[in-house]
Structure 1
Amino acid sequence: MFHVEHSGPMSTATPATSLAGLARRRLIRNRPAFAALLTLVAVALACLLGPFMTGHTPERIYPDLVRTAPGFEAHPRPETVRPAIDRLAFRMRLTVEDFSERDGIVRLALTASQRIDERSLSYLPRSDLFGPPTILERSEDGRRLVVEARVQKLHFLLGTDVLGRDLLTRCLVAGRISLLIGLTATLAALLVGVTYGAVSGMLGGAVDALMMRVVDILYALPFVFFVIVLLVFFRAGLWLVLVAVAAVEWLDMARIVRTQTMSLKSRDFVRAAQALGLTTPAILARHIVPNTLGPIVVAATLLVPRVILLESFLSFLGLGVQEPATSWGVLIAEGSRALESAPWMLAAPAGLLVVSLVSLNLLGDGLADALDPRLSEPR
């Protein structure tokens, strides 16, 4: 006979997994949602760091490069160097007697009816098309100068707007403000709406009816009228948009959370918590709100682009973000007015907005599945 010795019982138990860890694994397995998350991170990093790498400032105007089409080619192009020199010479009140270009260096012979003031040559570097000039020859009477200047290499990957500003830099800087407005207003709506809706649904009865009538009254107020009333007391700008949007966008969140709370408070685990003596705030924090995370996250991800669109609407009316600040809504409004002559002005900010919108929707669906406690862990 063979004797088999057992050192101990075989255990197949796995360590307990927290809700956050389980949700993280589910989200990573959901490829569209995870790709959307990476896309949003890339857009956010581009908006934060990109303006420092484009070589342009958002407010810098290039008057000689107005409505420049997108492309990888450096500006000014060879065929536009001489016209640019002629325009600058006209501003300097000089005449271009001779012109030559070689290896990115222009050589000019400038003449005038009277002695030339060297300070007028500052028009060349101020245009950002040419570097600081070097005087090679000067006539005895000072009415003729021979100068050299290097042609600058400027790149506009997304083109320029109607004033000659780099559109890529402006889109990235605008993304900072649009994302800031979307995230800040959404966070305020979450804090107010979740708290208000959970309390209303949990208490029920006359308190719930009164709280919901307040929501109905706020729903009845026209949004634009509310903004105009705020403008009577405050100056139009970024903070006005944040206050106006956050003041009305929590209403939908409150209704969603109230509906979820009313369906959850009759469940056995909530009754067990009440029987154990937990207070209402503790039940809300430990049981009600965690079980409504799915609908809350979906609503929040849909709220961010809606807030951005609301900001676009206000900015189009002149009630939102004001110059010199800008946002995707402001750029879309500018692009719509120049659609025929410069369609890229609309395509660039609208493309960023659409990418962010689609990514937020996909991420919201993925998070809803990842945070749903009723779904089993996939094997």
Structure 2
Amino acid sequence: MSGAVATAGPARRTLARLARMRTALAALTVLMLIALACLAGPALTGHDPDRAYPDLRQLPAGLAAQPDASHLGPALERLAFRMRVHLDATAREGDTLRLTLASDAGVDRRSLVYLPRSGLFGQPAVQEERDGGRSLVVTVQVRRLHFLFGTDVQGRDLLTRCLAAGRISLAIGLAASLVALLIGVAYGATAGFLGGAIDATMMRCVDVLYALPFVFFVILLLVFFRPSLTLMLVAIAAVEWLDMARVVRAQTLSLRERDFVRAARALGVRAPGIIARHIVPNTLGPVAVTATLLVPQVILLESFLSFLGLGVQEPQTSWGVLVADGARSIEAAPHMLAAPAFFLIATLVALNVFGDGVADALDPQAG
């Protein structure tokens, strides 16, 4: 019972110190809002992430409903061309559009399906047929579409794309960090506890991996394997556990000579049991700090690889992919770079600020 109280005491003190850090709490709030937006946002924007509107390409960010007058005419002309008709008359009353379609060969009613397929109009209704079917009067509702962050080069809603991309970036960041955490803690604790030649050999392997150029390593993997999210996780986790292993090893070297470890040895507890029950739990403070700083590092690394075209592949997307697309169109559509960069920077800054707050809260010298 006393052991549980002793364990809960430092935890309560750490949480109390963290609760007094307004900056860290604000960063945590930002992270929660971004994560919630990425999870639920794509279903609430009214657009599918892969839904393209060819007539609304590279729209700037704004609150105005689309299609507006400047886009409605060209959209109707394009659809009339696909329907093999020409527009004799166009009249708009509110959101209702009255079209007169004509063709010398006769208007094929099946071609009216192009109107709702464009995504800009509802289901058309034929009001009148003239000249033996060579002319039709059609009414159709004009949809009111909103693109708060604008659209990309294919006419896809950029806000929805950013939120969907956030799912991939955050998932990769958390999953790769978790894998790196498990490998690094196990490797570092084992090396530090066993010591001697085993420790020296294991840490030399770490030094060799540190010397390996990461981008070259990823390119090498892509030569032998098809690009995928799994490959991305393997590539990132294969190198990101190195820092964690060094941190845990340094803590283990100071813990293995403590009295509770010697008592466990005297009682006949084997090395795996001592590492799992005594060493690893006492390294959780530095591990937690390192883990909070590892997640933004992984997200930034994934974005860098995707920016180079070595990461997430179509039809999936991530913040790095969107930033790369925006960089290619920065002169014609700067909003395409600004939108994903905003989400990426906000997430990285919030993670780093929260990580600093956790480090301060775990500091035994803190008040």
Which category of TM-score, normalised to the shorter sequence, fits these structures?
Answer: over 0.9
**Cα distance, 1:229 vs structure 2:** 2.8
Q: Return the offset for 1:273.
A: 5.4
Q: Which moved more, 1:276-285 or 1:99-108?
A: 276-285
Residues 1:338 and 2:329 are matched in the alignment = yes
Give the corresponding residue for 1:249.
Answer: 240
Structure 1 residue 26, shift from structure 2 partner: 2.4
**Are 1:104 and 2:88 matched, yes or no?**
no
2:131 is paired with a residue whose SS is coil
Amino acid across the alignment from 1:336: A
Shift of 1:91: 2.0
Q: 2:127 aligns with which of 123, 126, 136?
A: 136
Of 74, 91, 95 in structure 1, the residue corresponding to residue 82 of structure 2 is 91
Q: Which moved more, 1:301-310 or 1:289-298?
A: 289-298
1:29 positional shift:
1.9
Please report how far the alpha carbon of residue 260 of structure 1 lies from its aligned counterpart in structure 2 after TM superposition. Answer: 2.2
Deviation digits for residues 106-133 of structure 1, max 9, x if unmatched?
1111111221101111111111111111
Determine helix, strand or coil for the equivalent of 1:149. Answer: strand
The question of whether the paired residues in 1 share the 8 Å contact of 2:329 and 2:336 is answered with yes
1:184 aligns with 2:175: yes
Matches of 2:77 and 2:220 in 1, distance apart? 52
Q: Residue 58 in 1 paired to residue 46 in 2? A: no
Structure-2 separation of matches of 1:81 and 1:302: 49
Q: For 1:109, what is the secondary structure of its paired residue?
A: strand
Deviation at 1:267, TM superposition (A): 4.6
Task: Specify whether residues 281 and 22 from structure 1 end up closer, same or farther in structure 2 by C-alpha distance, changes over 3 A only.
Answer: farther
When the two structures are aligned, how many residues end up with a matched partner? 362
Q: Decide whether the 8 Å contact of 1:293 with 1:368 is kept in 2.
A: no
Report what 1:72 is aligned to: 63
Q: Which residue of 1 aligns with 2:344?
A: 353
Could you list the runs of 5+ residues in structure 1 that have no partner in the other structure? 1-14
CA contact (8 A) 2:27 2:350 kept: yes
Q: SS state of the match for residue 141, structure 1?
A: helix
Q: TM-score, normalised by structure 1?
A: 0.89
Whole-Å separation in 2 of the counterparts to 1:95 and 1:195: 71
Cα deviation for residue 174 of structure 1 reads 0.6
Q: Which has the larger radius of gyration?
A: 1
Matches of 2:318 and 2:263 in 1, distance apart?
50
Q: 1:24 and 1:309 mapped to 2: Cα distance?
A: 28
1:175 aligns with 166
Alignment of 1:117-128 (within 5 A): 117-128=108-119
* Alignment map for 1:264-343 (pairs within 5 Å): 264-267=255-258, 270-271=261-262, 279-343=270-334
Counterpart of 2:154 in structure 1 is 163
User: Does the Cα contact within 8 Å between 1:50 and 1:172 map onto a contact in 2?
Assistant: yes
Q: 106-115 vs 240-249, which deviates more?
A: 106-115
* Deviation, structure 1 residue 281: 3.7
Contact 1:294 1:369 in 2 (8 A): no
Cα distance, 1:92 vs structure 2: 1.6
Counterpart Cα distance in 2 of 1:266 and 1:286 = 15
The match for 1:199 is 190
Q: Which residue of 1 aligns with 2:202?
A: 211
- Deviation of 1:139 (Å): 1.0
How far the C-alpha of 1:367 sits from its partner, in A, is: 1.6
Q: Is 2:215 the partner of 1:224?
A: yes
CA distance in 1, matches of 2:347, 2:308: 23
Which one-letter code corresponds to 1:144 in the other structure?
A: S
Distance 2:244 2:100 in 1: 70
What is aligned with 1:37? 28
Q: Tell me which residue corresponds to 2:142.
A: 151
Q: Give me the whole-angstrom Cα distance separating, in 2, the residues matched to 1:59 and 1:250.
A: 35
Change (3 A) 1:318 1:91: same
Number of the residue aligned with 1:7: none
Q: Using the alignment, how far apart are the partners of 2:361 and 2:273 within structure 1? A: 24
* Pairwise CA RMSD: 2.0
Say which SS state the counterpart of residue 132 (structure 2) adopts.
coil
Rounded Cα–Cα distance in structure 1 between residues aligned with 2:278 and 2:346: 35
Aligned identity (percent) is 63
2-structure distance, mates of 1:301, 1:124: 50
Structure-2 residue corresponding to 1:260: 251
Q: 1:131 and 1:284 mapped to 2: Cα distance?
A: 65
TM-score, structure 2 as length reference: 0.92
Summarize the Cα distance change of 1:277–1:32 in structure 2 as closer, same or farther, 3 Å threshold: farther
For structure 2, the residue ranges without an aligned partner over 5 or more in a row are none
